[in-house]
Amino acid sequence: MDRLTGFEVFVAIVDSGSFNRAAERLALSPTMVSTHLARLEDRLGTRLIHRTTRRFALTPQGHVFLEEARAILEAVEQAEGRMRMSDMGPSGRVALDAPGAIGLRFVVPALPQLRAVHPRIMLDLSVGDRSMMFRPEGFDMLIRVGVPAEGRGDVINLGRTRFVQVASPDYLARRGEPATPDDLHDHDCVLYATVDRPVGQWRFVRGKERRSLRPASVATFNHGDAIAAAAVAGVGIAQTLEMLVAPELASGRLQPVLAEWNRESVDVQLFIPQDRTKRQAVRAVADFLQSRVDWACPS
């Protein structure tokens, strides 16, 4: 017979005050209650309850064993509760930092699906384009593009994209199309900049040929969506990630410029600091981002 059932029977007899009420509580017959108790006492080699036709009383050994039995049953209940909770899936808050446009175009549209798959996970998303650098402090994971991870942790490849130069049809009709990177000095350009990363250089790769230049800017932004919007508005030529302007290119609102350059792809990476890699909720979000989000084109 089940040893644990003997413990449950013994505690139920004490708590209910009678064999019959214990039988009702456990959905057993009074005979089975008596049998379970007798088997328990036989295993322990001692009498736990003095019983008569009208009443019962705990023996000294029964008083001692009652505390042990309660502790065992409570431990079992807690363990089963933890397992039931684990069956419900991972839970907790996960702090994710992503470049602004990537967070808004890729992560935010995926949130309903993330909630459906992991309803007990709460995502704290930072999309503040402060810098292109890896800064794991305070975050469980970070999304970056084309920048190797700094520090110890796990790096997960989410996808690949490339840098492209784009302009609106209206701008190209007015100003013409540059034939070489050097021609950009004669064009209006829209550049990326942050407080801690001043305007940098545009890099161009074509096979083994590599060029870099700092075009004159007519506007700078610290957000990829602002750069795309300015280019669509005809402000100038922008260099950005293809993944961030895929809809605009597909619709014709933007056209590629210097398309023979920068055809090599770069990695879209998820970095998890070492001290966060074993968190169940973090791993669940990482798996979701890797398997459920199309990083080639926003939803």
Domain boundaries, position 131 = 93-149+270-292
Distance of CA 28 to the CA centre of its chain: 47
User: Contact at 8 Å (CB) between 234 and 172?
Assistant: no
Q: Are both 230 and 277 inside the same structural domain?
A: no
Summarised one tens digit per residue, pLDDT across range 176-202 is: 999 999 999 999 999 988 755 666 789
Q: Is residue 264 part of a domain?
A: no
Q: Are both 191 and 232 inside the same structural domain?
A: yes
User: Contact at 8 Å (CB) between 9 and 36?
Assistant: yes
Q: Does the structure show a pLDDT above 80 at 292?
A: yes
Q: Is residue 298 part of a domain?
A: no
CATH label of the domain that carries residue 223: 3.40.190.290
Q: Are both 277 and 202 inside the same structural domain?
A: no
Q: Report how many domains make up the chain.
A: 3
Output the 3-class SS for 244-265. HHHHHHHHCCCEEECCCCCCCC
Q: Is residue 263 part of a domain?
A: no
Taking CA atoms, 22 is separated from 51, 136, 216, in Å, by 14, 57, 87
Q: Are both 277 and 133 inside the same structural domain?
A: yes
Summarised one tens digit per residue, pLDDT across range 144-179 is: 988 766 678 899 999 999 999 999 999 999 999 999
What is the Cα–Cα distance from 225 to 130, expressed in whole angstroms? 14
Q: Are both 62 and 120 inside the same structural domain?
A: no
Q: Is residue 156 part of a domain?
A: no
Q: Are both 215 and 230 inside the same structural domain?
A: yes
232-258 residues labelled b (16+ CB within 10 A) or e (exposed): bebbbbbbbbbbbbbebeeeebbbebb
Q: Are both 243 and 196 inside the same structural domain?
A: yes
Q: Does the structure show a pLDDT above 90 at 75?
A: no
Q: What is the DSSP letter of 53?
A: S
* Strand intervals (E) in the chain: 49-51, 56-58, 92-97, 121-126, 141-145, 153-161, 163-167, 189-192, 202-206, 209-213, 217-221, 237-241, 255-257, 266-273
Q: Are both 49 and 115 inside the same structural domain?
A: no
Summarised one tens digit per residue, pLDDT across range 191-245 is: 988 755 666 789 999 999 999 998 988 999 989 999 999 999 999 999 999 999 9
Q: Are both 175 and 252 inside the same structural domain?
A: yes
What is the Cα–Cα distance from 236 to 191, expressed in whole angstroms? 10
Q: Is residue 232 part of a domain?
A: yes
Is the overall model pTM greater than 0.75, yes or no?
Answer: no
First to last CA, the chain: 58
Query: Which pLDDT value is given to residue 89?
Result: 79
Q: Are both 177 and 247 inside the same structural domain?
A: yes
